[in-house]
Structure 1
């Protein structure tokens, strides 16, 4: 089928020449009828056979040349250096050389700009990662001081310092994960994890943020085993908790985050629902909450909303093969559902 399409395309591309050839044959057939009527049939038969043979040879040569041009053009697009440019000119009609050379100059210019941008981006990523690791040093020192010098400060001051430390640590982790989004190699280690127990251990690191916002934690459902990466899953849970604490309202009574597990037999999935009782998300904003930089209506009453937390959550969920869904109505809170596929080991 491809060969037939190629032959048809060849006829269509050179139809004017084949049409002129047919007209020329008709003219010579007419002359043969006038000059040699007694041998007219023989002459016409020979002329038709010769014409068909010439057309076949021409189509074969045209298709072979087009394949050579196509191969040279693909090499030129992949690597538009001067050698590939000369090779493409060599197999192409001379009338196309000026266009090929102009295209080559433009492609090489864009390639140089892209290579420069890649180098600048790599330097930027290295700087960000280095800065993040440098920030961890004062955070560790702050933790050491808060643990060993707690008797020298009032409980309220210590609580506020822990709150600030955890906020900075969360911001640093977000920067680090964002910088690693485009990494070619990611060191994920998938293992069996009891999901509710894991959530309880993860919450401990964010207890000061929860206490500062007055949140209570509730667990529902049975303990279930899922297969995932501990660091990546902890990052998802931490960002969901941080998102809930950022969007608590001043007049909200008894803020609550609920972790609930369930099993969907129809889809063979273990589901973890993380639900808060905050202001919720409007219907027009809900489809976009995982978009980069989107704050929606929530951004109108909190300066802490950046639109990056749930964006990073969605990217990490994609890496860990976790299906992520969000449901909400204004005034009824936000529910994020993490659906883990059951993997048989």
Structure 2
């Protein structure tokens, strides 16, 4: 089937030359009929055999030439240096040389710009990574002061300082996990996790963040066992919690964050549902909440919205084979479901 398609493409590409050859044969056949009617059949037969032989030889030469050009062109695309450019010119028709030289110059120009951008991006990534490690020092000092000098602060001041510290730690985690998602090798360790107990632990670790917004926490359902990476799952839960605290509606009296575990017997999967009673998401915004940088209408409730939290959640969930589902309406809060894969021991 492949050979038939190649032959068809060859005939289609050089159809004018084949038509000229066939027309010439018809003309000479007519002349042979006029001049040599007694040997007309013999002459026409020889002409047909000669024409078929010429066509077959032409197709063979064209196929061989095309393979040589394709190999040279592929090398030229992989590395558009002057050596590969000259090699491509040698095997290509002379009428194409000017286009090949022009294309090589353009590709090399773009490649040089790309290399410069890669170097700049690498320097920027190294700077950000260095900054992250440097910022950990004052954060550690801040934690040390809050732990050892708490008697010198009033409770409201200490609570506010703890809240700011946790926000800074969350921003640092953003950067670290964003870099981790782009790494070639990821050190995920999948192990057995008691889901509700793990959620309660994450809540306690971020108690100051929730207390600042006066969140009420509810846990519903039975304890269930799942297999996942602890650090990755913790990051997902932390970002969902941070997302809910950032989008608390103004003048909201009693914000609620609810964790519910459900076992789906049909799909044999464990589902963790996390819902709040915040401002919610409009129907037209809901399909895009996991897109990078998307804030939508929820972003209008707070200047803290960056559109990165749920984007990182979706990327981490993909790495951990966790399916995400979002449901919401304006004024009715946001519900995110984490559907864990069924893992057999």
Q: Which ranges in structure 1 are unaligned for 5 or more consecutive residues?
A: none
CA RMSD of aligned residues (A): 1.3
Corresponding residue of 1:5: 5
- 33-42 vs 89-98, greater mean Cα deviation: 33-42
**1:207-239 superposed Cα distances (whole Å, 9 cap, x missing partner):** 101111111211111111112111111111001
Task: Spell out, residue by residue over 1:281-333, the C-alpha distance to the aligned partner (whole angstroms, 9 max, x if none).
Answer: 12222122112222222222322222111111111111211111111122221
Distance 2:242 2:283 in 1: 22
1:163, distance to aligned residue in structure 2 (A): 0.7
Q: Deviations over 1:124-183 (max 9, x none)?
A: 112111111111111111111111111121212111110110011111111222233322
Structure 2 partner of 1:95: 95
Q: TM-score, normalised by structure 1?
A: 0.96
Aligned partners of 2:33, 2:307: CA distance in 1, in Å? 85
Measure, in 2, the Cα distance between the counterparts of 1:34 and 1:301. Answer: 94
User: What is residue 333 of structure 1 aligned with on the other side?
Assistant: 333
Deviation beyond 6 Å, 4+ runs, structure 1 = none
5+ residue gaps, structure 2, are none
Report SS of the residue matched to 1:37.
coil
Contact in 2 for aligned 1:128/1:176 (Cα 8 Å): no
The CA distance in 2 between the partners of 1:93 and 1:298, in whole Å, is: 60
- Aligned residue pair count: 345
Deviation of 1:199 after TM superposition, in Å, equals 1.1
- 2:215 aligned partner: 215
State the Cα deviation string for residues 74-131 of structure 1 (Å, max 9, x = none).
1111111112111111111011011001100100111111111112111111211111
Listed as ranges, the matches of 1:90-239 within 5 Å are 90-239=90-239
Matches of 2:287 and 2:31, distance apart in 1: 77
Alpha-carbon contact 1:292-1:307 (below 8 Å) kept: yes
Q: Structure 1 stretch 82-91 or stretch 2-11: which is displaced more?
A: 82-91
